[in-house]
Structure 1
């Protein structure tokens, strides 16, 4: 019996006729992930960097969204090759690695996603969901076809090296993180600051010159529209927890809730 894996994000980007729109899932909940998967967005980011997600919860979310026409993307907490190996073995076909600052770091990440002799990923396909327990014909020989690697540029230093990072063979996409970028530029919390947006545009230009898809995080609709107009290939426009926080707050304000709460204001 042979099992066919879904296309990776790399293939989705290559065949897209418009920018691909995504949501973050940081709640750690498979139910919430499944709800978001049915929303109509193109991709979901399951976050391990800033969320209470471990291997078990990531696996549950990958399984929960598997029946929906979206592409799951897992952001690992760091470039640790052991964590990358484990997340790939769970069946994540697309990973995002945060805080990549140089071409050398990007090259090391490529090696972490590939089996020897090109890389250092440990072999465990018979034990892992990645190869559907050796039910994917030729997985070991062609594993890199089933893996998309996206690296995050999130600092002023990384922006300076964006061209070299984007040009690394095996880097399938570059994703800009304006929040950490703003912090590194001395304007923390000001993701829409002109200097920050100018730096994002520099990364866009560097990635386009290298022929590498480029994306960005932008939860403000106006900022997102501007980045789409500037040529973003993929974009994250919201997160499960922020949607819940703002939506519940708006409902409370609409119906005057909390005004008589003795704890209000504490």
Structure 2
């Protein structure tokens, strides 16, 4: 069994972990996140281009790069949550959890009995975590995290109930959707004061319940704010935005070519 700390161990000890976020279903991209030094990488099966086959390959690539493996499932797809933990995801994030029942159903899909109803077949998960099957069974419920996304007013109203779910390890805040619901669809304002206050309140309640708090951050200032609010798992950096910004920067470096009036090269 590996002596390296698991993501769950780091977060429960109070260590801050920044995760990269991947929408593009190309395994080398999350591996590059990992090799660049990200402690964790999240693959997005809700809004990204990943399907199950892509996710299986990419989880292994993240492990190869030395980072922790996180996956966000599509809304309500608890069966997929169970399959992804079998394939080595250390943390599952479930979007749009708005009730006690939804939180219970999600968390139970990630945990083995008696905490849940996960079916036994962790061959790949045990391999990527460098454990025998017996070791994995002993440790899985503690090492595999289930985080419910809180991103609506309905979820905020139900938060106290959601946090009573024993098999749920914590929450993960989606500020963009939260801002949409807080404004009744009038504005997207994930970094606004009202959204920030709601995030702080969610973190405070989550920590008081002895659970872990994570959040999606859109810039470095938001990471710092979230840390001081009590969040310890924070996203920062999206592959599509990296590529877009890098492409535009590279083109600006040769923008002078637009002023060149010479004709085409004729050397061949």
Please give the TM-score of this superposition, normalised by the length of structure 2.
0.85
Unaligned runs of 5+ residues in structure 2 are 260-268
| Structure 1 contact 167–212 (Cα < 8 Å) conserved | no
| Structure 1 contact 24–44 (Cα < 8 Å) conserved | yes
Could you tell me how far apart the structure 2 residues matched to 1:242 and 1:71 are? Answer: 21
Structure 1 SS opposite 2:147: strand
2:264 alignment counterpart: none
Structure-2 change in CA distance of 1:226 and 1:129 (3 Å): same
1:15 alignment counterpart: 13
Please give the TM-score of this superposition, normalised by the length of structure 1.
0.85
Structure-2 change in CA distance of 1:57 and 1:258 (3 Å): farther
Mean Cα displacement is larger for which, 245-254 or 207-216?
A: 245-254
User: Pick from 121, 140, 150: which aligns with 1:143?
Assistant: 140
Q: Give how far 1:89 is off.
A: 1.6
Larger relative helix fraction? 2
2:201 alignment counterpart: 202
2:86 alignment counterpart: 89
The size of the alignment, in residue pairs, is: 255
Map residues 99-178 of structure 1 onto 2, 5 A cutoff. 99-125=96-122, 128-132=123-127, 135-140=132-137, 142-178=139-175
Structure 1 SS opposite 2:166: coil
Name which one, 1 or 2, has greater alpha-carbon Rg: 2
Q: Deviations over 1:19-38 (max 9, x none)?
A: 21111011111111111001
| Structure 2 contact 204–230 (Cα < 8 Å) conserved | no
Confirm or deny that 1:222 pairs with 2:221: yes
Could you tell me how far apart the structure 1 residues matched to 2:220 and 2:144 are? Answer: 30
Provide the alpha-carbon RMSD of the alignment.
2.5
Confirm or deny that 1:256 pairs with 2:255: yes
Q: Give how far 1:159 is off.
A: 1.6
